[in-house]
Structure 1
Amino acid sequence: MNEFDWSDLDARLLQLLVAVVEAGSITGAAHALGVTQSAVSHQLDKLRAITGDALFVKSGRGIVATARAGELAVQARELLRQLQGFAHSGAFDPARWQATITIAANDFQRDVLLPPLMARLREAAPGVALRVIPSAIPSLEMLRDGACDLAISPRPPEGSDILQKRLFEDEYRVFHDPAARAAPASLKDYLAADHITVVYEPRRALDLDRTLAERGVRRRFAIMVPGFAGMPGFLRGSQLLAAAPSLLGRGLLAGFASVPLPLPCPKLPMYLIWHRRHQDDAAHRWLRGELEALVPGVMAGDAPPGPAR
């Protein structure tokens, strides 16, 4: 009965077998593998015990492989090739990537970030389709259950298996239609106006509105829409004012004038959010890198803006 069995096989033994077959000698194999001759002899004894075959026999001053060793060497080369492919399975070529990626984003981050991302994908990964779903307040479940591959939101959910990266920080400005009214000249003028704002379902106010209300700042909201995309139609031709992220002035709110808010207000951070299971996935890591890489251009106004409505 052999002292060893098949479970004692490893890549080093397979490499040894192939090296001895190809070199035709213990000395040549040792040189090719960068080990001593005694190490090769010891490992060959182990391999003989596993296979139950002599593997190599003396022939004159050298050695020759047995028929069984020749057959095993063919299998060993294929196994080594497969092991190498397994070890390098993380190597990723975006040009060959075929997938549908789902990103959860509300209209602000959707229009600011995803059109330039799609332009990058068209060039580097033409086989990738982009599916966009509303994020509302991103939940742990939508990330854990795979409802989306990434979420982009100012409000990352808290969970030990959820990862995040801050992409940028924007500021709010007061938008108005310059053909219908002048900019508010003072805080009093600003507070006296009618306003349009966003209230996400189910009745979630913007962080800005909540913070100002907590400070006792009262504004009269004449219109509440479920997303920033609903603002332009009401703002155009009206006396309304809208506090919205400044980046929307390059796309969704292009054509409207804007001025700084006449009182201190919080910034708007934006985070990229994903589940831990995607952390080391080569394709997912590449996609996150592409999103991060386009942010400086977006902030500088170099990236293509989202669609104006």
Structure 2
Amino acid sequence: MADQLDLNLLRVFDVLMDTASVSAAAARLHLSVPATSRALGRLREAMNDQILVRAGRGLVPTPFALASAAKVKALLEAAATLRADPAGPDPRTWQRTFAIRVNDGLVPVLAPRLIQRISAEAPEVRLRFVTQDSKEPDQLRDGSLDLEIGLTGPTPPDLVTRPLFSDHFVALVAAHSALGRAPALTVDDLCAYPHISASRRGLARGPLDEALDRVGRSRRVVAVVPSYAVASLIALEEDAICLVSRVMAQHLVERGVPVRWHEVPLDLPTVHVELGWHRRLDGDPASRWLRDHLTASVQPLVATLDPVSRRGSAAAPR
């Protein structure tokens, strides 16, 4: 019965969803394993669902539990705001989690820079990066997401957006490969070498194929993977081409990953990346603090990007 649920029990549910383990949840909650197991029993009775079920040697959430996890987290975070300024104005005293939905191609670039800034000023604040499986705004509306970082698109009236930067796609190749040693990339190279396509929807075609169609050419996609990070790792192994954003390619090179990037000798669309949040958080000090840190962490990256007017003429860095 729903009236059996209280905040303490919902906190147990939230940690069980994060850990999928009674013993791990007990350690995080500073409870004994039997006490946590009894709490799971009360949750099962109150929610009329098994919550966690045995799968091999571990436990997995039920479909109902998965569907409820974001709602419970939002309830807990909302309940934490019911006290007047519970943590005070100093971020060093905050103990909370910010959820950020971000395009997978930007996570390796933005996350480390943002984590470094946040950790220096608010050591007890945790950042939870959420996969952009969907662009639906419901999670921003119900509070389970604080921010979204992704490509521009139609904005509902209850959301606010801010431009972050504009970028374009380049061809990433292994540094030791023939293409990695080449001074530039040609259309013939694009058609002769295999491609690794990154698409969370499993699509093999994209803007590059449309650009090749316009000149009567085509490419050969040998694999489609769900993220740019995976595509980049596969491109390390052989003479293969992977299209990634210029900012991600530059990040990998700067971090010593043995890759090179070339400008694509065709006209590809410019990518506009923006930051989005729900209007109710527009004046919220904590949300504004997070947005300002994210914008500041992006600025050094933006400053190094080639102007769009120079796109197609810049040589790959060595």
Deviations, residues 183-229 of structure 1 (Å, cap 9, x unaligned) = 4642122222211111113x357863475377576322111110011
1:179 corresponds to: 176
CA distance in 2 between counterparts of 1:268 and 1:205 reads 19
- Give the letter for the 1:141 counterpart: D
C-alpha contact (below 8 Å) 1:106/1:227 kept by paired residues: no
Distance in structure 2 (CA, Å) of the matches to 1:273 and 1:241: 32
Structure 1 residues 110 and 264: CA distance shift in structure 2, 3 A:
same
Counting matched residue pairs gives: 215
Instruction: Provide the C-alpha distance between the structure 2 equivalents of 1:290 and 1:249, rounded to a whole number of angstroms.
Output: 23
On the 8 A contact 2:103/2:131 being kept in 1, the answer is yes
Counterpart in the other structure of 1:224: 224
For residues 115 and 136 of structure 1, the distance between their equivalents in structure 2, rounded to whole angstroms, comes to 21
Q: Distance in 2 between matches of 1:229 and 1:140?
A: 25
8 A Cα contact 2:96 2:126, kept in partner: yes
Contact 2:104 2:132 in 1 (8 A): no
- What is the CA distance between 1:274 and its match in structure 2? 0.6
Question: Secondary structure at 1:119's aligned position in 2?
Answer: helix
Q: Does residue 132 of structure 2 align to residue 129 of structure 1?
A: no
- Is the 1:90–1:282 contact (alpha carbons within 8 Å) kept by the matching residues of 2? no
Letter in 2 for 1:273: G
User: Of 274, 277, 290, which aligns to 1:274?
Assistant: 277
Query: What SS does structure 2 have at the residue aligned with 1:200?
Result: coil
AA of the residue aligned to 2:117:
R
The answer to whether the Cα contact below 8 Å between 1:194 and 1:222 also exists between their aligned partners in 2 is yes
Please list the CA deviations of residues 39-93 of structure 1 after superposition, one character each: whole Å capped at 9, or x if unmatched: xxxxxxxxxxxxxxxxxxxxxxxxxxxxxxxxxxxxxxxxxxxxxxx8x999832
**Equivalent residues in 2 for 1:8-27 (5 A)?**
none
2:211 is matched with: 212
Partner of 2:164 in structure 1? 167
1:97 partnered with 2:89: no
Give the Cα separation in 1 of the matches to 2:97 and 2:239: 43
- Greater Cα radius of gyration, structure 1 or 2: 1
Q: Distance in 1 between matches of 2:204 and 2:189?
A: 23
Residues 1:296 and 2:299 are matched in the alignment:
yes
| Corresponding residue number in structure 2 for 1:264 | 267
The Cα of 1:232 is off from its aligned counterpart by 3.0
Residue 14 of structure 1 is matched in structure 2 by none
Change over 3 Å in CA distance of 1:114–1:178 after alignment to 2: closer
Check 1:292–1:197 CA distance in 2 against 1; reply closer, same or farther (3 A cut). Answer: same
Q: TM-score, normalised by structure 2?
A: 0.60
Corresponding residue SS for 2:300 = helix
**How much identity, in percent, do the aligned residues show?**
29
Q: For the Cα contact (< 8 Å) 2:87–2:93, is it kept in 1? A: no
Q: Distance in 2 between matches of 1:275 and 1:116?
A: 24
Counterpart check, 1:249 vs 2:249: yes
1:106 paired residue among 103, 115, 129: 103
What is the distance in 2 between the residues matched to 1:142 and 1:154? Answer: 17
Give ranges in structure 1 of 5+ residues lacking alignment: 1-85, 302-309
* Residues 266 and 217 (structure 1), Cα distance of their counterparts in 2 relative to 1, 3 Å cut: farther
TM-score, normalised to structure 1, is: 0.62
Decide which of 287, 291, 294 is 2:290's aligned counterpart. 287
Cα distance in structure 1, aligned partners of 2:124 and 2:87: 18
Amino acid at match of 1:168: F
Verify the 8 A CA contact 1:162 1:275 in the aligned structure 2.
yes
